[in-house]
């Protein structure tokens, strides 16, 4: 009987690898490398809960500076990964219209009066075609649960901040 190609590959026999071995190979749910893997998927779309991220990362800054800092970092991420990036801010937090030149590669949206950024994020996710990789950065449990039900992958704001740092 001849040797088959699959028999020449060195591997662990079934029953010899423990769940601990497998767990050690897996990335932690909080590892920014998970985000890189998700953004490397073809046609990936990152949707960012803007103020949720900025108030997690640098709450002491004025809102305008929070927005500018985050958008600058997201522009770099978009350039590095090629992913589509949309950043959503709550329009209710605005005292006056924002004059903002959106950074290259980042779509910036403000929710309309009476609509929260959370709802706008859910609308964005529902608008995507089935099967498209959509990643939503927010620590808001209601947002995360809602987008997960709609087929998107929620990631914590802290993970995005770690990746941007």
Per DSSP, 5 falls in state: G
105 found inside a domain = yes
Following DSSP, what letter does each residue of 21-50 receive, concatenated? HHHHHSPPTT-HHHHHHHHTSTT-EEEEEH
Per-residue pLDDT tens over the stretch 73-106: 999 999 999 999 999 998 866 655 565 677 888 9
Helices (H) and strands (E) in the chain, counts: 7, 5
154 found inside a domain = yes
25 found inside a domain = no
Q: How many Cβ atoms from other residues are within 10 Å of residue 131's Cβ?
A: 8
23 found inside a domain = no
4 found inside a domain = no
Domain of 57, CATH number, reads 3.40.50
For the chain, give the mean pLDDT: 84
State percent of the chain over pLDDT 90: 48
Q: How many Cβ atoms from other residues are within 10 Å of residue 79's Cβ?
A: 14
10 found inside a domain = no
Residues of the chain with pLDDT under 70: 1, 11-30, 92-100
99 found inside a domain = yes
Q: Where are the beta strands (DSSP E) in 24-117?
A: 45-49, 84-89, 106-110
The residue range of the domain holding 146 is 30-164
24 found inside a domain = no
In this prediction, residue 9 carries a pLDDT of 76
Question: How many domains does the chain fold into?
Answer: 1
Per-residue pLDDT tens over the stretch 117-128: 999 999 999 999
């Amino acid at each position: 009987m001849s040797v088959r190609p699959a028999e020449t590959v060195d591997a662990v026999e079934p029953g010899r690898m423990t769940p601990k071995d497998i767990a050690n190979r897996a990335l932690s749910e909080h590892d920014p490398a998970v985000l890189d893997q998700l953004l490397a998927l073809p046609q990936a779309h990152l949707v960012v809960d803007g103020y949720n991220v900025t108030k997690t990362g640098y709450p002491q800054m004025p809102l305008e500076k929070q927005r500018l800092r985050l958008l600058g970092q997201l522009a770099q991420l978009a350039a590095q990964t090629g992913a589509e990036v949309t950043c959503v801010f709550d329009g209710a937090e605005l005292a006056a219209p924002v004059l903002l030149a959106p950074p290259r590669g980042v779509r910036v949206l403000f929710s309309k009066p009476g609509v929260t950024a959370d709802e706008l994020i859910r609308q964005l996710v529902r608008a995507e075609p089935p099967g498209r990789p959509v990643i939503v950065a927010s620590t808001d449990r209601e947002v995360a649960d809602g987008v997960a039900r709609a087929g998107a992958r929620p990631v914590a704001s802290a993970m995005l901040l770690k990746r941007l740092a």
